[in-house]
Structure formats: C-alpha cells, structure tokens
Amino acid sequence: MTVLETVSTPPRRAAPMVLFDSIEIAVLVPCYNEERAIGAVVAGFRTALPKARIYVYDNNSQDNTVTVGREAGAIVRHEKLQGKGHVVARMFSDIDADIYVLVDGDDTYEPADAPFLIQYLIDNRMDLVNGQRQGGHQRRGHSFGNGLFNRITGWVFGSRFEDMLSGYKVFSRRFVKSFPALATGFEIETELTVHALRLRMPVAELPTVYRRRVHGSESKLHTVRDGLRILWTIFVLVKEERPLAFFASVFAFLTALSIAFGTPIVLTYFQTGLVPRLPLAVMTMGIVVLAFLSLASGFVLDTVTRGRTEMKRLHYLNLPAPGKTDQRTERD
C-alpha cells in the first residue's frame, strides 16, 4: 500500500448519516479562550457527525469557553497543564473510539469536511488523513514558517505532507494508541507527523476549507516563540529518530574543521621539519578525536533507535486497523 496519497480536488460533501452508524467517532477539540467560536464548532460537528461524541478539553480558559461548549452539547473536560501538546496527550489517553477527529476550537475549519475525511480514511485503510488548508487566510509569518518546516521535515524524514501544521486531522485508533505524545505545545503537530512517517503508516492529505477567525478571537500561536519551539522539536526528533545522520553530520563538520586547522601545520612540518604551533596541533588532534567519537555514537544510537522503532511498530501492528472486521469477513 502506498504510504502517501494526496488528493488535489476539493472535498465533496459526503452523506454520513448511515455510513458511520457502526463506527464510534470522537471529535476532540482542544480549547483555550475560544468563547466566541466554540459554540459554532460544536454545533457544526453535531450537524456533520450526529453520531459522534464531541469532547471540548478546556486548557485553563479565562472566559466562558466551558459554559458555551457545554450549552452547545459538548462533553467538557479539563487539562490544567498549559499547552496544546499536554491537551492532546490527555485526550488520546482518556478517550476510546474507532476514529478520532482532532480540530482546533477557533472555527477556522469546516465541520462539513469531516465526513469526507473519515470516509476516505476508512475506505483506504489509512491511519492519518491530514486536512490541507485551502483559503489563504493564514498570517504571512505563519504561512512562511509552515512552508519552511514542511520542507525541513520532508527533507529529513520524507516528503509526505504539504501542510503538516494543520489543526484538522483524522486518526485511526491504532495511530492514537501507539502515539507517545511527548510534546507540550504547538509542536505536537510536528511530532504527530514524524510518528506517522517513522512507522511508515498509510497516510493521506486532503484539501479542506480554511476560514478567517471569528471577529474578536485571537490566535494562540506566537509566530517567533512557537516557531522556534517547532524548529527545536524538529532538531531533537532528528537526533532521536535519525541519530546516524545527525552525528555523521557532526563528524563531517568536525573533520572539515580539523582539516582547515591542520593543513597549515602539516605543510609547515614537511617544509621545515618543525611544529611551531604546538597548541593548535593539539587542538586539531582533539577535534579529530571528537569527530570519530561522534561517528561512533551515531552508529551505537542508530542501533538503539532501530530497536525502539521496531518495538513501536510491533505495538502499532497489534492494534486494530480501520476496516479490520471487513478484512476478516472477506477472508472467511
């Protein structure tokens, strides 16, 4: 099965009323001060997915998010640790379902797109369907950062998504229950993406409507601060998930540095038979030692990481895939 499938046509409005009767769907909405938008989000998903359970997880809101969400018909719960990553980790650990829809509570995503995303995930036995934002309402800084992080992640882990920082995603149960959820803030989307890529999960990316925020509602994403956190997360994930490539790069840098420092010393030695700059020679040798230590660390950690990845994949394979019941029926 192809691990990536990108659909370029706009999503059609699927009719979900009968299709999802036997499937348990949970809509997960992390919220922080979304009083103006959360009512419309809950109402929209109650219309689009009438059989789904809608959970609003409040993250220390100072406004009436909890009241509005509850009055709109959502199941409201609380997470005291501040940050979207903490909320997603809590939701994934608390809630059992067959299909999970993760969406921001700012009413910028179209609930009517959810049935199409879910149906596509089920029909094609996917573990993640990412909503690629269409509409051009992202801030310039956010759009630039999103493109940059997509290119970096694609270069390191494989190009699978064009909008990995989208807040609209549909997951299978085996994705959610195999995901360790270590991020604390908005870098959670990066961690979700890398988890899918490292375990070679079948994924897809479909275009979804992206609207302007409700008037009076403010984005919780800080362009510079959260951008740096996402960049740092990518750096850490490269070290943790691709240690050989990471430490080989360090080896190459230190080797180049030692050659730059050591070449004049070697040339002087062949010309005069002397080493006039002994401290520089000693430092150069130290850099060479560090370079080979880095390379050795890369080989050792690559073996450890391979074992960790195998264990995560085995755990992932032990969980039921979308349509598993149908597969057994077909074999019988």
pLDDT digits (tens, 9 = 90+) for 6-59: 444 445 554 444 357 788 999 999 999 899 899 999 999 999 999 999 999 999
Q: Is the pLDDT of residue 227 over 80?
A: no
Tokens in use for 164? 């990995």
Q: Is the pTM of this model over 0.75?
A: yes
Q: What percent of the chain has pLDDT over 70?
A: 84
- What mean pLDDT comes out for the span 153-157? 77
Q: In what order do the strands lie in the sheet with 4-6?
A: 4-6, 203-209, 128-134, 169-172, 99-102, 25-31, 53-58, 75-78
d(CA 145, CA 221): 12
pLDDT of residue 330: 40
Q: What pLDDT was estimated at residue 146?
A: 66
Report angle CA 175, 74, 165 to the nearest 5 degrees: 40
Q: Determine the 3-state secondary structure of 49 from DSSP.
A: coil
pLDDT at site 142: 57
Work out the average pLDDT over 292-314: 90
Contact by Cβ (8 Å): 173, 320: yes
Residue 218 Cα to chain centre, angstroms:
23
325 pLDDT more than 60: no
Give the pLDDT of residue 321: 77
Contact 34/106 with Cβ under 8 angstroms?
yes
**C-alpha–C-alpha distance, residues 28 and 318, integer Å:** 24
Buried b (16+ CB within 10 A) or exposed e, 226-264: bbebbbebbebbbbebbbbebbbebbeebbebbeebbee
